[in-house]
Each structure stands twice: as C-alpha cells, then as structure tokens.
Structure 1
Amino acid sequence: MFDLLIHYYTRTIYYKSFAGLSKDIWLLATVMLINRSGAMVLPFLSIYLNQELNFDLSDCGIIMTCFGVGSVGGALFGGYLTDKIGYFKVMLTSLFFTALAFLVVMYLDSFYELCLGIFSISFIADTFRPANLTAIEAFSKKENLTRSIGLVRLAVNLGYAFGPFMGGYIATILGYDFLFIFNAFSVGSAGLFFFLFFKNKSKGLSIEKKQRKKTEKIPLPWNDIPYISYLFLFGITVIVFFQLIYIIPLFYKTGFGFKESLVGLLMAANGLLIFIIEMPLIYKIEKHFNPVTLVSFGGILIALGVLCFAVFNDPIVASIGFIVFATFGEMLSFPFSNTFALTFANDHNRGKYMGLYTMTFSMAHIIAPIGWFQFAENFGYNMTWIFGGVLCIVASIFIYMYKLRSA
C-alpha cells in the first residue's frame, strides 16, 4: 500500500515540479524557511507604531520609509560585496548582524531612534538578497532556474505563512516585544544552518572571480537602458503589491476592526496559497509562455486584488478577494520577473545586476509606506485602492508592450 502511494505521488504534477532541483537549492530553501518563519516584525510594524507607540499615519509612513532607504543601500552594497568576496561571506554576515539588530530595535521608542533602527535592520538584512539570488543561479541548471527560484520563494512564503500567523497570537498574548525576540531567533538560527551546510561550498565561485582578466570590460547594469526600463515598470507593480505589507494590515485593524490574530491569519493565507500552488503552476506554464507575458498578467491580477477593497462592502469578501487575486498575481509576476532579470547578466556582473533588481524592491519599500500612508490620510482608503489598482494596470500594459517591442 505504501509503495503504491509513493508510485502515485511520483506521477503527480506536484512531484514533477520539484524533480531535478539540486541538493544545494533545497538547502538554500531551508535557510530561507528558517529565516522567514520568524518574520513577525514587519507585517505588524504599522500596527505597532500606530497602536502601541501612538505615532500618527504620517510618522508611521516616514519610519517605515526608512526601511526602504536602508533596503536600497543594502541591496547595492550587497551586490557590490557579492562580486568582490562571494555570496557566502555576505549572506552569513547579514544573517547574524540582522538578528542582533532586531534585539536592539526592540528597546527603541522615539521617532528618530526608530528611524535609525529600522534603517539599520533593512540595510543589514538586504545585503543578503543579491547574494542569495547569485547563489541560486550558481547552484541551478539553466533549464531549472525558474523552478529553483520558485522553490526558494516557496520556502520564503511558507515561512511567511507561519510567521505572521504566529505573530498575531504572540502580539495579542505576550506583547509586541516578543515579536522582535522571535524574529531575531529565527534569523540567527538561519545563519547557523547556513554556516554549517555552506562553509565549504563557496570556494569554486571565489576562485572563478579571482581568475577574471583585469582587462576584461564588464557591462554595468545602470548603463543597460532596456534593463533599467523594465525594472522601472516592474517596480510600479511592486509598489502597489507592497500595500499588503504596509497599509493593508493597519486597514484590517482600523478600517475593518479585525483583531491581530485575524490579521495574521489573512497575511498567512498569502504564503500558504503560494506554498500549495506556485511550484506546480510554474512547472505547467514555464515552457509555454514568455516570462514578460506572465509578469504583465500577474500585475493585472494584483491590481484586481487591490480593487476588491473598493468594490466589495463586506470585509470578509473584500479580504478574501484581495488575497486570492493578489497571491495569484504574485505567483505569476515575481518568479518570472526574476528569471527575466537574470537573462541580462553574465558570470562577472551577476551580483551587480541582482543588486539592482533587488533595489527595485528596496525602492518600493521607500515609496510604498510614505506614499500610501500619505495618500490614505489625504484622500481616504477607498481612493488609495482605486489609484493603486489603476496604476498597476497601466504599468502591466506597458510591460506587455515592452515585450512586443523586444520580440
């Protein structure tokens, strides 16, 4: 009976979607799962600042914008360091120092202290991201690259399903300080796991870098106009999607009157859906559609999700509609945007290209909080959803037109 079940499972699309991925990709995914399982601070940061520390919406937006500013610096610095010293040292240092930063920020409560503290967390944490993307590419076969990215994203989102879900209960029962403690513990544990399993795996990449000819001219991503144009358009989609992180949790609390436990459950639903669906979805469609087409269509789905809040009056219907549309949009748009971005780079500039790609998300972390909080405070939540949805649709159409021009 057990053999029959194994035989049946190996013939399923879910099994096939994971087949052929390297052991190292699975280990990287495990690092991300451990890291993100404690991701409790950021999903509840707007509620913490507004409800616990009594900052108004404008101040919340400024503090959370500092997260984006630090993210930009961290992404660029991390990309530069990755090309210089390799992914291993960058990722390991980032994980351990991020854990320490969470413990320090837990004790801060003034406006300027929090601005500096949140900036520091994101700067240190986001040096990790371009190094991680470089490591994924290094351990993947070309034909498996999108699925390798998808597996790591799956681990991130499974952790993100667990983190906010538990975070809602921890904030309610134990208090917000424990969110910082658990977040620090998970990041530190990920660093320890990464050190143990990858300490002997980075030598080949470093040797290859040292053997590069000094006279070789290496293209730089900020001089690549098609690449910059694509990132600008995709960045608009990311800014709209980041309403999920910044303003929507606070809207759940103050607009719909949801408790933190329900807010955490709704946030967790995003990660859980991605865990169940994304890998089989990528497996079925990756060879049948151009990546840019999927990025464009995914952006339109994200827009429809945001517009659910403007269309539906029932809080539960609007929330479920948002989660379903936005999650499917994310599953189509984000992994294939990453794959497409990697096609612009080569072995000697991949860290810089991935640093700039990561900076797209970092810039969104700057613009999204201060932009959406200010917009909501001046024009109301309903206009925020409408404006965000329309903006995302326009950007997605231009991304599709970009594909037509480059075809």
Structure 2
Amino acid sequence: MILSLYRNAYGGLSRESWLLTAVIFINRAGAMVVPFLSVYLTEGLGLHIKQVGILLSVYGMGAMVGNCIGGWLTDKIGHFKVQLCSFLLVAVWLIVMLWVQRFEFLVGGLFLLSALTECLSPATAAAVSSYSPPQNIIRAFSLNRLAMNLGFSIGPALGGILAMVSYQLLFVVDSLTCIAAGALFYFLFRQRQDSVGPETEPTQPATVAPESHSERSPYRDGLFLLFIALCCCFLISFSQVFTTMPLYWHQVYSLSKMEIGALLALDGLIVCLMEMIIVYLIGNRPAPWKMIVSGLSLMALAFLLLNLAHGLPVLILSILLFGLSEILSLPFIASLTARRSGPKNLGAYMGLYTLAYSAAYIVGPLAGTTLIDSFGFGTLWASAGALCMVTAGGLFLVVRRLQMS
C-alpha cells in the first residue's frame, strides 16, 4: 500500500524534473556552512550575538540582491547559464571565505557568498516550472523540495561531525559538492539548455496554465506584491528555525554540534518522507488558502510549544510540526507564483517569490537576535507564533482573491 502510494505520487513527472532533482540533492547534501553559521560565528570566531545578528542579516541582504539578479538574468540569458555559473562561483568563494575572519571583512564576504548562492533560486524555480506540465506543477515543486530536504537531512548531520573536527572542513566540503553539482548539471543539461528563454518561445509553454499568460511585470501586480509581503512575514518566523533555533538548542539545552545537526536533519527527513505523499493524496482538491493557513497555524503551534514545555521530546515534536508546516504551505505558495506568471516573465515572478526568502533572512535573524539579547528566547518564540497567526489571516483573504483575478 505504502509503496503503491509512493509510486503513484512520483509517477508522471518529466525526466528533466528527475535529473534536476539529482543535481539539487547533491548541492544541498553539501550545504553545511549556513546551518552552522550562527554557531561558527559565536563559538568559532568569538563574535557577540549582536554581531552575529548583523552578519546573518547581511547574508539575507546578499540573498535579496542575488534573487533580483538571478531572476533578471534568467529572463535574459536563461536558467541553464545562471544555474551553472552559480554552482561554480559559489564553490570558488567558499574557499576564499576560509581566510575571512575579521568582522568587517565577513560583512562583505558573506554578502557576496549569499548573492552568488541565491542567484540559483529563481533560475532553479524557473527550470522546475519549464520542465513541468500545468497539472503536475505542484508535485514538481514538491519533488524539488524533496531533493532539497533530503540533501538537508544529510548536510547538517555530516556537518555536525565535521564541525567537531574543524569548522574549515565545512567550507571545503561545501565547495566540493558545489563543483560536483555543477559538473553533473552541465553534463545532464548541456544539450537541453532552456526550454523557455530569450531565444526560444514554445507554442504552448509548459510552465503555466493557459489563462495565466500575463506579460505584466510582477512589480506592477499589486495583489501579488501583497501576497509576497505576507509570505515574507511568514518566512521571517520560519527563518528562526535555521538561524536562532540552533543557538537556542546550544545555549539552553547544551546540545552538541552533532545533536544540533541531527535535529536539523530530522526536519529535512520529515519533509522528504511525507511531502510528496501528502501532496499526491490531496492533489488539487483543497483550495490553496486552506493548505497555506493550516501550515502557518501548525508553525505557530510549534513556537508556542517551546514556551509551554521543556525537554528533548518537546524539541522533536516541534521539529515535526515545523516539517508539517512546510509541507502544507511552501509547495502551494510556489505553485501559485508560477501560475501567476507568463512565458516571458517567469524569471521575474520567481525572482520576486524567492526575494521574499531573502528579505525574511534580513529581518528575521536581526529581529531574532535582538529579542534574544533584550528579552530572551521565550519572547522570540511568542512573537514568531503571533506573527504566524496574523499572517495566516492575511493570506486567507489574499490567496482567494489571487486565484479569482
């Protein structure tokens, strides 16, 4: 029964979607610098928590710039070239970062690292859309997220072991996996290039449904901008899981690097095992707003739980709730964005969508570390939960209008 569910859930997706999934998995399996960045900056380099908050926000600023540039370049030169360049340039810069340790140099170094890394996001999202027929687009994004989370279930766990030996190993291994992902991507996709790009325009684009072939700029799409702003609020809360949460585990629970890596890996593993099955079972039947609002409600509950009880079982339960929240919200947010775009502005729409992540990673870490320094972790979790509930109410109203317009 279970095997049949998995077979049906993954059936019907294009060969290109699977090949892209393999590349993303390799890249994410080696992504071990960012999960341990806050711990590395405090313990490895001895920086104050406020300095760490500034640097994490700088990382978010670089991501914002990278998403804008990546979306623009995707529409200009196509997603193939953008993805390949991102893989290779990130690999080089990770090695450079081994020698960057002074705070003022870290500001510039992390900004550039993030910008180069996040150029990949809108290009990959455009590739996922272009390789998927409209009826499979939600599952295609879920498959993409499965690769990311499966890799993320390996990266932090391995990173925790490597960090016990040397933080420098995190940068080296991350760089090597970027090179491996870039090489595999080139050999798999060099003959395919872009199915949608500046030089080719298919008669029936596979990226979006026929009724969504809009040529307008997403920056002039008022309702979509409101949707993105609300998504950003949600992601500000979500960003705490990967920025301040490891500090919470380390400082309050005294967990080791290996245990922190294991908890982060658990989140990825939950999403890997459950997302495609849940998305397949629910299909396109429920309205997207129901799934998104349910996801945000579960995230609010996870934050509240951290203040109501204490102990390792509480941490594991909260990770389970965070994982379910991702499953119920993020694939539907991505698919709504893809369906809102047209064949010539897919990169711009996806760039704005991934920009919400970048903006959240500017505000989230800085706000989180400031609240921790001034009021403690309890206030941060209460504030993050409240923000999730307020955002859920806003998305309840906006997503329904977005589908009707």
TM-score scaled by length of structure 2: 0.94
Q: Does 1:383 align with 2:367?
A: no
Report the CA distance shift for 1:319/1:230 in structure 2 as closer, same or farther (over 3 A).
same
Partner residue of 1:195 out of 181, 186, 193 = 186
Q: How do 1:153-302 and structure 2 match up within 5 A?
A: 153-172=145-164, 174-202=165-193, 204-206=195-197, 207-208=199-200, 218-302=215-299
Deviations 1:315-337 (A, max 9, x none): x1221121011110011111110
Cα distance in structure 2, aligned partners of 1:61 and 1:399: 28
Cα distance in structure 2, aligned partners of 1:85 and 1:61: 35
Partner residue of 2:135 out of 136, 143, 155 = 143
Instruction: Assess if the C-alpha contact under 8 Å between 1:293 and 1:403 holds in 2.
Output: no
Letter in 2 for 1:175: S
Instruction: Assess if the C-alpha contact under 8 Å between 1:292 and 1:340 holds in 2.
Output: no
Shift of 1:26: 0.3
Cα distance in structure 1, aligned partners of 2:401 and 2:81: 40
Report the CA distance shift for 1:324/1:210 in structure 2 as closer, same or farther (over 3 A).
closer
Cα distance in structure 2, aligned partners of 1:138 and 1:52: 42
Shift of 1:113: 0.8
Structure 2 residues not aligned, in runs of 5+: 204-212
Partner residue of 1:371 out of 367, 370, 394 = 367
Cα distance in structure 2, aligned partners of 1:115 and 1:194: 30
Q: Does 1:64 align with 2:56?
A: yes
Partner residue of 1:345 out of 341, 346, 357 = 341
Instruction: Assess if the C-alpha contact under 8 Å between 1:74 and 1:125 holds in 2.
Output: yes
Deviations 1:137-169 (A, max 9, x none): 111011011101111110100000000001111
Cα distance in structure 2, aligned partners of 1:160 and 1:64: 19
Cα distance in structure 1, aligned partners of 2:398 and 2:55: 35
Q: Does 1:22 align with 2:14?
A: yes
Report the CA distance shift for 1:168/1:203 in structure 2 as closer, same or farther (over 3 A).
closer
Q: How do 1:305-324 and structure 2 match up within 5 A?
A: 305-314=302-311, 316-324=312-320
Q: Does 1:362 align with 2:377?
A: no
Cα distance in structure 1, aligned partners of 2:62 and 2:344: 26
Cα distance in structure 2, aligned partners of 1:311 and 1:328: 20
Partner residue of 1:116 out of 102, 108, 126 = 108
Deviations 1:25-69 (A, max 9, x none): 001100100000011111111011011111111100011111100
Number of the residue aligned with 1:39 = 31
Cα distance in structure 1, aligned partners of 2:214 and 2:381: 46
Structure 1 residues not aligned, in runs of 5+: 1-7
Cα distance in structure 2, aligned partners of 1:9 and 1:333: 23
Shift of 1:204: 4.5
Number of the residue aligned with 2:210 = none
Number of the residue aligned with 1:334 = 330
Report the CA distance shift for 1:208/1:45 in structure 2 as closer, same or farther (over 3 A).
same
% identity of equivalent residues? 31
Partner residue of 1:325 out of 321, 328, 336 = 321
Number of the residue aligned with 1:393 = 389
Letter in 1 for 2:314: A
Report the CA distance shift for 1:199/1:108 in structure 2 as closer, same or farther (over 3 A).
same
Deviations 1:169-192 (A, max 9, x none): 1111x2100000111111111000
Shift of 1:279: 0.4
Cα distance in structure 2, aligned partners of 1:19 and 1:161: 24
Cα distance in structure 2, aligned partners of 1:268 and 1:217: 39
Cα distance in structure 2, aligned partners of 1:28 and 1:404: 32
Tell me whether 271-280 or 288-297 shows the greater mean CA deviation: 288-297
Cα distance in structure 1, aligned partners of 2:68 and 2:347: 9
Shift of 1:402: 2.1
Q: How many residue pairs align between the two structures?
A: 393
Cα distance in structure 1, aligned partners of 2:304 and 2:156: 23
Shift of 1:401: 2.1
Instruction: Assess if the C-alpha contact under 8 Å between 2:90 and 2:117 holds in 1.
Output: yes
Cα distance in structure 2, aligned partners of 1:32 and 1:65: 25
Instruction: Assess if the C-alpha contact under 8 Å between 1:292 and 1:337 holds in 2.
Output: no
Q: Does 1:93 align with 2:85?
A: yes
Number of the residue aligned with 1:103 = 95
Shift of 1:202: 1.7
Cα distance in structure 2, aligned partners of 1:310 and 1:250: 16
Letter in 2 for 1:152: N
Cα distance in structure 2, aligned partners of 1:405 and 1:93: 38
Tell me whether 43-52 or 282-291 shows the greater mean CA deviation: 282-291
TM-score scaled by length of structure 1: 0.94
Number of the residue aligned with 2:209 = none
Cα distance in structure 2, aligned partners of 1:90 and 1:59: 32
Letter in 2 for 1:81: L
Letter in 1 for 2:370: Q
